[in-house]
Structure 1
Amino acid sequence: MLFLSDNAAAVHPAVWDALKAADEPDSPYDGDRWSAALDDRFSQLFGRPCTVLWAGTGTAANCLALATMVPPHGAVVCHEEAHIEMDEGGAPGFYLHGAKLILAEGTGAKLTPEAIRAAVDPIRDDVHQVQPHAISITQPSEYGRVYRPDEIAAIAELARERGLGLHMDGARFGNAVAFLDCAPGDAVGAADALSFGFIKNGGMSAEAIVFFDQELADVARYRRKRAGHLQSKGRFLAAQLHAMLEREVWLDNARHANAAAQEIARACETRLMHPVEANEVFVRCTADERDVLRAQGFGFYDWGADAARFVTAWNTRGADAAALARAIASL
């Protein structure tokens, strides 16, 4: 009964069907009919014009998006526990050719305008200090906390005041939309670019970089090629994205994962470290208690010395979620 990560989940059947359907001759790279249709498909989803490039990993999606906004001598403001800081192996510095990450604090791994100002206001406006060029927020955050539309709007307003780009790391964007029960455009707000995650939500090997600024997309095309991410049979990535959007598979998958997480959360009571707003459950438990859970067949990651993280997925079985809930309640 695996609760290690939604990356460990199976590929959704609709994705396999789409891959088979795309297995026919077509133009190489991103000149195929599947890739050509992405802009219109996502523009309808978000209710405004956008340009979409596929990428093979979330790390590449994040870094290629940020590389369009930040020069090598600049910086990205992000939370001190953001994925781009903690879990991407220095990839932002590599893709951005040495640009820096400026780390800010915030409850639940979420940024606020006040936290951003505290991080950037002390920076002098001269060549001796690295200047911020973009803000990156994670929706939902590394602790599964979801930004509300008004919170995103406040950060976007600050970004415009300071002349900064705004990027959203949406590795679990579907889970945020499902929690908010809102239009996707409301969950992304006025961001300039979104890394729209599909792999954690039932995809196989495709993420979408959604640009709401055409000029950024034009730059990203060259950077994607230079970084070695312009796959020659791009139709297989584009087909996965279409399959997930068809009949709202992406949203149904996220709703299922969120519901399973809620069932587990209800059994945790005072053990919960953070409110459960997506598909991650952070639970206080000792090493001995974790041993008890693993002996019952549950797979999960330790989260420091006295905690564990449980992640549900689109195909988490109801019986498994119920069993974990009972096991935690009985500790």
Structure 2
Amino acid sequence: MQFLSDNAASVHPALWRAMQAADAPDAPYDGDALSQRLDAAFGEVFGRDCAVLWAATGTSANCLTLASMVQPHGGVVCHREAHIEVDEGGAPGFYLHGAKLMLAEGEGAKLTPAAIAGVIDPIRNDVHQVQPHAVSITQASEYGRAYQPAEMAAIGAYCTERGLRLHVDGARFGNAVAFLGCTPWEACQGAAALSFGMIKNGGMSAEALVFFDTGLADVARYRRKRAGHLQSKGRYLAAQLLAMLQDDLWLANARHANAAAQELASAAHDRLLHPVEANEVFLRLTGPEREALRAQGFSFYDWGDDAARMVTAWNSPMEHVTALARAIAAL
């Protein structure tokens, strides 16, 4: 009974069917008919013009997007626990040719305008110090916390005021939108670009770089090629993205994962380390308690010495979820 990561979940059958349907000759790279449909398809989701590129991994999606915004002598403000800082193996420095990550604090791995200001206000405006060019936030955050629309609006307005571009790492964007019950744009408003996560939500090998500042996409196309991410048969990636948008499959998948996480949360009570606002559950668990759960067949990651992280997915069997909830309650 697997609660390690939504990355370990299987691929949704609709995506297999879409890739099979795409298995016919077409133009190479991103000149195929499916890739050419992405701008309009995502524009309909967000209710505004956008330019959309595909990439095969979340790390490349984040870093190629940021590289289109930030010069090598600049910096990106992000949370100290941000995925780009903690879990991408130095990829931002590689893709951004040495641009600096400027670390901020915030409860639940979330940033606020005040937290951003605390990082950038002391920086002198001269060539001797790295100047901030962008802000990157994660929706939902690394601790499964969702930015409310008002919080997004405040950060977006602050970035505009300070001349900073806003990037949203949306690895679990679907889970955030499903929790918030708002429009997709309200969940990322103010962003110049969004890394729209699909793989954690039932995809196989496709993430979307959604540029609301559409001119940035022209830069990203060159950087994607240079980085080795311009796949020759891009139609298979485009097919996955379009299939996820069809009939809001991405939201249906996210809702299932969120509901499963809420069932675990309801059994955890005061063990919860963070409110559950997506599909990640962080619990206080001693070493013996973790081993007791594993002995019953549950897999999950330790989170330090006295905690665990459990992640539900689009296809988490509810009987497994209920069994884990009962096991947690019985500890």
- TM over 0.5, yes or no? yes
Tell me whether 1:107 sits opposite 2:103 in the alignment. Answer: no
CA shift digits 1:210-257 (9 cap, x unpaired)? 000121011000000000000000000000001111111110000000
Matched residue SS, 2:76: strand
How many Å apart are 1:44 and its aligned residue? 0.5
Aligned partner of 1:37 in structure 2 is 37
Aligned partner of 2:239 in structure 1 is 239
How many Å apart are 1:305 and its aligned residue? 0.3
CA shift digits 1:41-96 (9 cap, x unpaired)? 00011000000000000000000000011000000000000000000000000000
2: CA distance, partners of 1:273 / 1:320: 22
- Pairing 1:75-224 to 2, within 5 Å after superposition: 75-224=75-224
After TM superposition, what 4+ stretches of structure 1 lie above 6 angstroms from structure 2? none
Give the AA of the match of 1:112.
T
Matched residue SS, 1:283: strand
2: CA distance, partners of 1:214 / 1:307: 42
How many Å apart are 1:321 and its aligned residue? 0.5
CA shift digits 1:145-193 (9 cap, x unpaired)? 0001110111111111111100000000000000011111111111000
Aligned partner of 1:65 in structure 2 is 65
Per the normalisation by structure 2, the TM-score is 1.00
2: CA distance, partners of 1:224 / 1:122: 34
Aligned partner of 1:56 in structure 2 is 56
Aligned partner of 1:328 in structure 2 is 328
How many Å apart are 1:325 and its aligned residue? 0.3
Tell me whether 1:226 sits opposite 2:195 in the alignment. Answer: no
How many Å apart are 1:138 and its aligned residue? 0.2
- Pairing 1:1-40 to 2, within 5 Å after superposition: 1-40=1-40
How many Å apart are 1:13 and its aligned residue? 0.2
Contact 2:155 2:190 in 1 (8 A): no
How many Å apart are 1:203 and its aligned residue? 0.3
Matched residue SS, 2:319: helix
Tell me whether 1:279 sits opposite 2:282 in the alignment. Answer: no
Give the AA of the match of 1:104.
A
Give the AA of the match of 1:232.
S
Give the AA of the match of 2:141.
S
Give the AA of the match of 1:34.
L
Matched residue SS, 2:256: helix
Per the normalisation by structure 1, the TM-score is 1.00
Which consecutive residues of structure 1, in runs of 5 or more, have no partner in the other structure?
none
How many aligned residue pairs are there? 331
Aligned partner of 1:313 in structure 2 is 313
Give the AA of the match of 1:148.
Q
- Give % identity: 73
How many Å apart are 1:330 and its aligned residue? 0.6
How many Å apart are 1:25 and its aligned residue? 0.2
1: CA distance, partners of 2:218 / 2:148: 30
2: CA distance, partners of 1:215 / 1:315: 37
Tell me whether 1:288 sits opposite 2:291 in the alignment. Answer: no
Which consecutive residues of structure 2, in runs of 5 or more, have no partner in the other structure?
none
1: CA distance, partners of 2:262 / 2:64: 34
